[in-house]
Each structure stands twice: as C-alpha cells, then as structure tokens.
Amino acid sequence: MVETAAQARSIVSASRFPPQGTRGFGSPFTQASWGLSATDYLEQANDSVVVLGQIETREGVQNLQEILKVQGLDGVFIGPYDLSLSLGHPPPSPDPVPAIEETIQDILKSSHAAGKKCAIYCTSGEQAAKRAQEGFDMINVTSDSGAMAESIAKNLAVAAGQSIAGREFGY
C-alpha cells in the first residue's frame, strides 16, 4: 500500500540493491535456486525487479499524480476491495460500484499517461478478461483460496454424481 510519493520512493529504494537502492543481500537462496553466482545475480537483479505501489486508499488516489512521478516505480496495482472500503463504498460483489469503477478507470488512464504499468486484482477469469480488454497491463486472475475452493467444490460435486455443466461456483 502506498499513499504518498515519499512512501513510493522508500519502496523503490528497498527493492533495489546499492548503489540504486538500499535492499540487503541476505541469503544466497534466490540466486542459488536459479544456478547463478552471487556476482551474476547482483549484476542483473536491479534490472529484473518490477516495483508496483498498491493504490487502495483515499490518500493514494489523492496523491496518485505525485506517486506516478517517482523514478524507479514501474507502476501501480489497484486493490479494488480496500479501495472501495476506504472510499466509503461496499466491497465489489463481484464488480465495484460505479463511483469506484470510475476511480479505477482514472487510475488506469493516469498510470498510462505517466508511462507506468497498471495492474488490478480480479476474482474470476471473466472479470480478468474484461480488465484485459480495458487495457490493464497485469491482472490477478483469481485468489488462491478462491481457486482452491472452486476446484474442491467441482471435484466433490463430480464425486457425488452431481452434474456441474453450466454451474457457477462464485468463489
């Protein structure tokens, strides 16, 4: 969650190794998992990081233009549930209310106008397809718990001899 340009600068700094940032080297687990030496990893890590600030509060929306000016911030990620709540609206069910949808579209347009990526959280493939058509650059297609619950429900229905054709599980 990012609400100010200062927070965005701090996130960018914490995401990159010196001299571009303040990220600590820590364990060699990451590079070892990819078969890289520590030197090779450090030579390319800063160029391989994508830094997104999550916009999900009134303050984040109000400060969006300044946040988007932060050097090294690659884009923003919209959390529609917390954004809805923080702006005094109910959470999406499954889609946000019109006022929140307008805010989401404003964030998308502002991000692209600033040359930044814009990502969004979705709860279904249908919702993700709609967001892709709207021009979002990165899309969370569903939640892990939602995907697991849907799969378990479908498999239990099949095991119980129930037809699942055309049945929506809505998780």
Type of residue found at 143 = S
Top pLDDT among 62 and 31 is at: 62
- Which distant-in-sequence residues (6+ apart) come within 8 Å of 95 by Cβ? 101, 127
* Distance of alpha carbon 72 from alpha carbon 101, whole angstroms: 27
Quick one: average pLDDT of 84-89? 96
pTM of the entire predicted model: 0.84
Average pLDDT, the chain: 91
Q: Report, as an integer, the average pLDDT of 134-140.
A: 97
pLDDT tens string 95-116: 999 999 999 999 999 999 999 9
**Which residues are 120's β-sheet partners?**
78, 139
pLDDT at 150: 84
Q: Is the pLDDT reported for residue 147 higher than 90?
A: no
